[in-house]
Structure 1
Amino acid sequence: MKAAAELAPIEDLDRNIVTLCSHINAATYELLVLIREFDERAGWLKWGLKNCAEWLAWRCDFSMTTALEKVRVAHALKILPGISGAFASGELSYSKVRALTRVASRRNEDELLVFALRATAAQFAERCRELRCGREDSIDSAARAYANRSLRVRRDRLRNMMTITVELPLESGELVEKALDKARDDEVLAMPDLADTSWSRCTLTSPRSPAAKGVLHCPSKR
């Protein structure tokens, strides 16, 4: 380890971290622009896949939920020049942009952008949730998603497999996916011999919609 006298001043670390985050923001914007073009040109067809999110999950090692969000945000930014500019310059983080694209339009973009630039990510996410819940279409959409939630389990004894189909509001579905990922990782750590058997063959798919409908395919326990 470096001696205390050789360590960089904390102010330098602060500045370097903030600068790097700004560069990451700008690079993420460039990534989304490329994703949008790739999707518009249906580049994923070359590999025989169904959509751009599926290609991202395969080629870039994203979870399906993350891939779907990348594609959604990429397309949403196309009609939001102010937000795109702030994102490209590194002023806005992906967290804020993701929240912005759920509520922003040409009509309210400027006002939301001003608030986003001076608020924390948590404060802004809460404001966006308020806006979404305050709109009639958001309330109707949330009510439909809640009413349509479901869970179905099918066991295939011959193949020793289990299929779990769950339909939930998107945010709840994302929590379920994270819980499944953690459970899989914990299981593999606890029992290394399962690393290339049961959990490694589990897959979770979810389509691009207000309600997350995921299908989990796993081998059944004997």
Structure 2
Amino acid sequence: MSGFLDDTPPAQLTVEQLRERVTGFAGQITALTARFLELLGELDERGGWGGEGISSCAHWLAWRTGMSIRTAQEHVRVARALPGLPLLREEFATGRLTYSKARALTRVATPEREAELVNFARSASATQVEKLVRSMRHLDRETAEREAGHIESSGQWKWHLDGTLSVTLRLNPLDGARLLAGAVRAEYERTRVAGDGDVPRDALKPPTELVDPAAAGEMTAAQQRDLWRHVPHNIAPAMVAMADTVHGVVDIPEIAPGAEIVVHTFADNNSEGDGDAALSDPHLDGGPALAEIEVDEAQCGAAEREVTKNKRGAVLSWGRKRRQPTAAMIRAIFNRDAGCAHPGCGRTRHLHAHHVRDWDRHDGPTDMDNLIMLCSTHHRALHRGRFAIRALGDQQFSFHRTDGSLIETAPAVAIPDDWEPDPQIAPDATATVGGGRLDLGYTTEVLYAIWRLKAEQPAAA
């Protein structure tokens, strides 16, 4: 195996030597990936990824190893699936099934299906395995929908490298009709000219109408065709118009959409009167009491108003709001931090403007040098003492662990000093045996026939 680790410049190697090293390293990478996922699964099982506001094992993995969050999520998914698939795990660990194949198979493999799928994957390319898995997921979904008696609408979206967005929808019949009816109305609104009437108010209601067959029979054929004649072949402009309409008529806050939390605090906990004592602790409006740490979290970026009441609870004065960052300041902080400022996070939803130096107890200013954007997870972790933030001036901040050490934005990743290639992994372990064109229909038919027979055997016995 030493030949795979030498430092000979690639230009000095023969083509045959290059081939040997490329395939040899592929086997080692596969086996090491299997071991990596085994360790990751154990770490996930023990919850060893927590601390410092980390919200999930995938979140920790992405930050600690420099992976994208989607790649980390996929690694965690595979790591969780492998313990229940011992045969697949063994083939993966010996390098005979690559990560690409193992990743695809874990989407559909079960203990009952595992043997046949692994046998197929040994002699198929990764592309063919992916094609089979896609077909199986489609067949399994159709079977589940047929057994359930209904179809669940679903959709996916994806940004492309050229900046375009793809949206894929699979809607049940009624949802599909609603979408097309909405597209008709949106297209009318988008293309109408002077003289066309306004869209009626009931256009915002669900476009579902039950038609009496007898009444429908009185409509002419031309009138029936007119009901759908305006559905555009290209519905993209109509969909954008629908989105613009919702964007224009639905008002949401700039940060933490849909959330407005009112917390009642009391300067004098020795209040008198029937009922004041029960409310002397900070509490949510119409809700339970809050701990001091929760009040601190809620006060960050929030407005405060001093209200004076008498012993009976009547309001004597309603003070002015203070200490709340302006909307312009919130936008500036959001654009500066581009989401949560904690190293390795990057979340852009449900964010809070945090005063690094507390404004209530330590007179921290409400300005750009003292405000930083944090997601709800990291904001809570900060107030619970999981980490600390220091304001360095000129809108610069540093993040520190509880021992004072710096939390790096991208920790260095190094190969362990004691690691050596596994000599039991064959140099050609990942080489595909067999190959050829995949007859997808025949393959799926055979596999499902085998699984039906296996399922019937216990019943026959």
TM-score, reference length from structure 2: 0.33
Aligned ranges for residues 72-151 of structure 1 at < 5 Å? 72-136=77-141, 143-145=153-155, 146=169
Q: Deviations along 1:25-64, whole A, 9 cap, x unmatched?
A: 0000111011111111111223442211111111111111
Is the helix fraction higher in 1 or 2?
1
Q: Give the alignment's Cα RMSD to 1 decimal.
A: 3.7
Q: Is the 8 A contact 1:203 1:216 kept in 2?
A: no
After the TM superposition, which residues 191-206 of structure 1 pair with which residues of structure 2 at under 5 Å, given as runs?
none
Equivalent residue for 2:47, pick from 42, 46, 49: 42
5+ residue gaps, structure 2, are: 1-7, 146-150, 156-168, 176-238, 256-326, 352-461
Separation of aligned partners in 2, 1:198 and 1:37 = 33
CA distance in 2, matches of 1:216, 1:130: 37
Tell me how far 1:143 sits from its aligned partner. 3.6
Q: CA deviation at 1:19?
A: 0.6
- In 1, the alpha carbon distance for the partners of 2:100 and 2:350 equals 27
Cα distance in 1 between the residues matched to 2:66 and 2:152: 30
Cα drift, residue 216 of structure 1: 10
Q: Which amino acid counterpart does residue 91 of structure 1 have in structure 2?
A: R
Q: Residue type matched to 1:96 in 2?
A: K
Equivalent residue of 2:71, what SS?
Answer: helix
Which of residues 14, 39, 51 in structure 2 aligns to 1:9? 14
Q: What is the distance in 2 between the residues matched to 1:139 and 1:13? A: 49
Matched, 1:19 2:5: no
**How far off is 1:199 after superposition?**
9.7
Structure 1: 5+ residue stretches without partners: 164-195, 206-213, 218-222
4+ residue runs of structure 1 moved beyond 4 angstroms?
Answer: 137-142, 150-157, 196-205, 214-217
The one-letter amino acid of 1:121's match is A
Identity %, equivalent residues: 33
Give the conservation status (yes or no) of the 8 Å contact 1:132–1:138: no
CA distance in 1 between partners of 2:143 and 2:74 (Å): 18
Is 1:204–1:215's contact at 8 Å kept on the other side of the alignment? Answer: no
- Assess, with a 3 A threshold, how the Cα gap between structure 1 residues 138 and 203 changes in structure 2: closer, same or farther: farther
Q: Deviations over 1:133-175 (max 9, x none)?
A: 1113687588434459x98987565222699xxxxxxxxxxxx
Which residue is 1:187 aligned to? Answer: none
Distance in 2, matches of 1:199 and 1:17, equals: 41
Higher relative contact order, chain-length normalized (CA < 8 Å, sep 6+): 2
TM-score w.r.t. the length of structure 1 is 0.65
Query: In the alignment, is the contact (CA less than 8 A) between 2:104 and 2:133 conserved in 1?
Result: yes
Matched with 1:53 is: 58
Question: Within 1, Cα distance between the matches of 2:24 and 2:350?
Answer: 40
For 1:179-218, list aligned pairs within 5 A: none
Counterpart of 1:60, as a letter, is T
What is the letter of the counterpart of residue 66 of structure 2? D
SS at match of 1:102: coil
CA distance in 2, matches of 1:197, 1:74: 33
Bigger drift between 131-140 and 97-106 goes to: 131-140
Deviations 1:51-95 (A, max 9, x none): 111111111111111111111000100111111011100111111
Flag the 1:215–1:19 CA change in 2: closer, same or farther, 3 A: farther
Distance 2:32 2:73 in 1: 19
| 8 A Cα contact 2:340 2:346, kept in partner | no
Task: Summarize the Cα distance change of 1:55–1:197 in structure 2 as closer, same or farther, 3 Å threshold.
Answer: closer
| Amino acid paired to 2:24 | T
Task: Determine the C-alpha separation between the residues in 1 that align with 2:345 and 2:332.
Answer: 12
Task: Report the CA distance shift for 1:161/1:47 in structure 2 as closer, same or farther (over 3 A).
Answer: same
Please name the residue that 1:160 is paired with: 331
Between Structure 1 and Structure 2, how many residues are aligned? 173
